[in-house]
Chains A and B, each alone.
Chain A
Amino acid sequence: MSFIVYVPSDSGAISLGANNIADQLVTEAIQRNIDVTIIRNGSRGMYWLEPMVEVATPTGRVAYGPVKSSDVSSLFEADFLNAGDHSLALGVTEEIPYLKNQQRLTFARVGITNPISLDDYLAHEGYQGLKNALTMNPADIVAAVTDSGLRGRGGAAFPTGIKWNTVLNTPAEQKYIICNADEGDSGTFSDRMIMENDPFVLIEGMTIAGLAVGATQGYIYLRVEYPHAHRALNTALQLANQHNYLGDNILGSGQQFQLEVRLGAGAYVCGEETSLMESLEGKRGLVRFKPPLPAISGLFGKPTVVNNVISLASVPIILDKGGEFYRDYGMGRSRGTLPLQLAGNLKHTGLVEVAFGLSLRELLYDFGGGSATGKPIKAVQVGGPLGAFLPEEQFDTPLDYEAFAALWAVLGHGGVVAFDETTNMATMAKYSMEFCAIESCGKCTPCRIGSTRGHELIDSIMQGQDLDKNIPLLRSLCDTLLNGSLCALGGMTPYPVLSALNHFPEDFGVKP
């Protein structure tokens, strides 16, 4: 009989040598005359253990990691194929506390299945949501999403059901579904993980969205920095088309939905929905004025749903298990689960999907294990480069959209980047302004010019020049950016800048 060994094909695991490990396992098995089948699964999202190799055993999968090239021989010596003991042995994968303490709904299959196997997807409850949706009328599909309480996971947290309802009720010959897969926020990788490790769930979610609002064409606007995701999506799209999960006659229902991946080209601002649509239309990614809302006049002037990867990938389970099932997770107005991404200076970086309501401290220490360097965590930036820095005093805040808003912070797309005490927060604030200057689309003046002036100003402050004059000037500039910018790029750059200044004035040379 053949032993089954899993080695992740996730780009993060590959970046740490997973492909070499897979090759070596095959070579070593042949030399030892053992019949081993390697399955390239997705990553479980425990990146400090990657490359993590799993072996199928009668008591479930057991894990070993992080596996280096030099460990492969000794794994065979230790009889890892029969769950033998080894210094890298982690026991039964599902029992690892980091995984066991999560509530994986959107990520239910991630790390378990072979991402580009339709059979695997179907064997793990895939396409149940679409099958239900095909028996429902559009308004009922929208109602299920509205009932679930799902809010946009890209960062803006706008109720998904309300957006869909607007598109449903706007008559037009052509409507579009766009998946915003321009995951440019640093510290975030949940979109990448879904697209690389469970691409069918995104395709299913977009197909359901199409049925719900009457759109027959979808686009996935993918950032060019994600070549692995591009390959996985294209393979999955091809399979879905071949087996009539996409195309002119979805599962014999007579309904149609076409889906195509389009690549971005390294512009952060194209993660803003109107800029994204300009880019899809083949133009410079300049932000549009709103109104009109994209739901009324979006891509090519037609009603368009623009949703983030995680929002759309959460739709299949809602249609499978019902809006109520999803809504039962979470707190307050933040319903369901949020796939959080632990990054930066943390011991246990990775993907943590939990119901809203966990505290930031629990996330950083119980899951994250504290800082990687062992030094105290000075600050965390939540929600990407436009998110506020939170100091230690705020770590007891629950992960909830409203609780973060009350602190003048954002949950955003759920990225959490930790910094230890060696970090100078004025340097980070200066970087925020520099980033805004590099990525500004140039359409509105506060963002285009304010970001460059802000960068210069923080430079002067860091050199101790005219603090009495320059600090109020920086605050005034931030006020202009905040209130006068056309989109969130200029409008939110003051979040990291002012939070750094307010919580860590000493780093700016100001007495607290």
Chain B
Amino acid sequence: MTQPSTIQTTVQDVISALKDKPGALLPILHGIQDALGYIPSDSVPSIAQALNLSRAEVHGVMSFYHYFRSTPPGQHIVQVCRAESCQAMGSETLEQHVKTRLGIDYHETSADGKFTLEPVYCLGNCACSPAITINNDVYGRVTSAEFTNLIDGLEKSL
């Protein structure tokens, strides 16, 4: 677990590095999430102050975008594409299998903190549908059996 003081330092470092860019809020939010995996809600006042915004404005931006998260994710983030091309190639069956295998629904993290499951609307891998990502690595033409293999492999390495 990252110590609160380290978190504050990281947040401050990101803010100081990026606050003078035009339209700095999204780059700052990305910077914090890249460094910590999420955007702690107590970083909102610091961001607001640095950019001369209200806390409500910062919170409003954070909550508008699906990508930003305000709680720590699991160790591994699994995204399943729900868009049309993947549906045409059987993603709904895969989706059900993924939920059963991980024991969680979308937007949930497993009780042991190992996996977070997210829906995604197109990975641009539509020529290799159905597609998923695990920790930003894209996999194409994924079958239920292949998904199980990938997750088994990750669990062994945990």
CA distance A262 to B29 in the complex (A): 12
Chain A residues with Cβ below 8 Å from B121 are: 184, 186, 268, 435, 438-439
B27 at the interface (CB under 8 A from A): yes
Query: B89 touching A372 by the CB < 8 A rule?
Result: yes
A284 close to B125 (CB less than 8 A): no
Name the contact of A262 in the complex, choosing from B26, B60, B67, B122 (C-beta under 8 A): B26
- Which of A350, A419, A420: most chain B Cβ within 10 A? A419
A419 touches B88 (CB 8 A): yes
Q: Is the CB of B124 within 8 A of A226?
A: yes
In the complex, A188 has a CB within 8 A of chain B: yes
- Tell me how far the C-beta of A182 lies from the nearest C-beta in chain B, rounded to whole angstroms: 11
Which residues does chain B contribute within 8 Å of A266, judged by CB atoms?
A: 65-67, 120
When distances are taken between beta carbons in the complex, the residues of chain B under 8 Å from A262 are 23, 26-27
Q: Mark B118-158, 1 if CB is under 8 A from A, else 0.
A: 00111111111101000010111100000000000000000
A341 to B120, CA, bound (A): 20
B85–A282 contact, CB under 8 A? no
| A265 touching B84 in the complex, CB below 8 Å, given contacts A186-B126, A349-B128 | no
Interface locus among A7-15, A90-98, A315-323, A455-463: A7-15
Return chain B residues, CB-CB under 8 Å to A191: 124
Within 8 A of A (CB), among B80-121: 81, 83-89, 120-121
Task: Across the interface, name the chain B residue whose C-beta is closest to A229.
Answer: B124
A residues less than 8 Å from B65 (CB atoms): 264-267, 285
Is A344 within 8 A of B61, CB to CB?
Answer: no
> Is residue B68 within 8 Å, beta carbon to beta carbon, of the partner chain?
yes
A50, A187, A263, A420: the one contacting B128 at CB < 8 Å is: A50
Q: How far is the CB of A450 from chain B (nearest CB, A)?
A: 19
Taking A185-B122, A262-B27 as contacts, is the C-beta distance between A284 and B64 under 8 angstroms?
A: yes
Residues of B within 8 A of A385 (CB): 83-84
Q: What residues on A are CB-neighbors of B66 within 8 Å?
A: 265-267
Complexed CA–CA distance, A428 and B121 (Å) = 14
Within 8 Å CB of A192, what residues of B?
124
Contact A12 B140 (CB under 8 A): yes
Distance of A381 Cα from B60 Cα, bound (Å): 34
The answer for the CA separation of A343 and B85 in the assembled complex, in Å, is 6
Q: Are the CB atoms of A431 and B84 closer together than 8 Å?
A: yes
B residues less than 8 Å from A343 (CB atoms) = 85, 88, 126-127, 129
Interface magnitude class on chain B: 35 or more
How many angstroms from the CA of A32 to the CA of B78 in the assembled complex?
39
Please, which residue of chain B has its CB at the minimum distance from the CB of A223? B124
In the bound assembly, the distance between CA atoms of A189 and B125 in angstroms comes to 7
Bound state CA distance, A184 and B85, in angstroms? 12
The CA of A420 and the CA of B90, in the complex, are separated in Å by 11
The docked-state distance in angstroms from the alpha carbon of A226 to that of B138 is: 10
- Residues facing A in B11-42 (CB within 8 A) are 22-27, 29-30
A415 contacts B by Cβ under 8 Å: yes
A418→B120 contact, CB < 8 A: no
B124 near A344 with CB under 8 A, answer no
Query: CB-nearest residue of chain A relative to B51?
Result: A282
B138: chain A residues at CB < 8 Å are 11-12, 14-15, 228
- Cβ-based interface call for A127 (8 A): no
- B60 and A11 form a contact (CB under 8 A): no
CB neighbours (8 Å) of A189 from chain B are 124-127
Closest 3 pairs between A and B when the two form their complex, measured CB to CB: A186-B83, A282-B25, A265-B65
Task: Please give the residue numbers on chain B whose beta carbons come within 8 Å of chain A beta carbons, in ascending order.
Answer: 22-27, 29-30, 51, 60-61, 64-68, 81, 83-89, 120-129, 131, 136, 138-141
24 contacts between A and B (CB under 8 A): A12-B140, A14-B138, A15-B131, A47-B128, A186-B122, A188-B124, A191-B124, A225-B120, A225-B123, A226-B124, A267-B64, A267-B65, A267-B66, A282-B51, A284-B60, A285-B65, A342-B127, A344-B85, A351-B127, A385-B84, A417-B85, A417-B126, A423-B88, A438-B121
With A225-B120, A385-B83 given, name 14 new contacts (CB 8 A).
Answer: A12-B124, A12-B128, A15-B139, A184-B121, A186-B126, A187-B83, A187-B84, A224-B30, A225-B124, A343-B126, A349-B128, A372-B89, A415-B126, A441-B64
* Chain A interface residues (CB < 8 Å from chain B): 11-12, 14-16, 45, 47-48, 50, 183-189, 191-192, 224-228, 262-268, 279-285, 300, 341-345, 349-351, 372, 381, 385, 415, 417-420, 423, 428, 431, 435, 438-439, 441
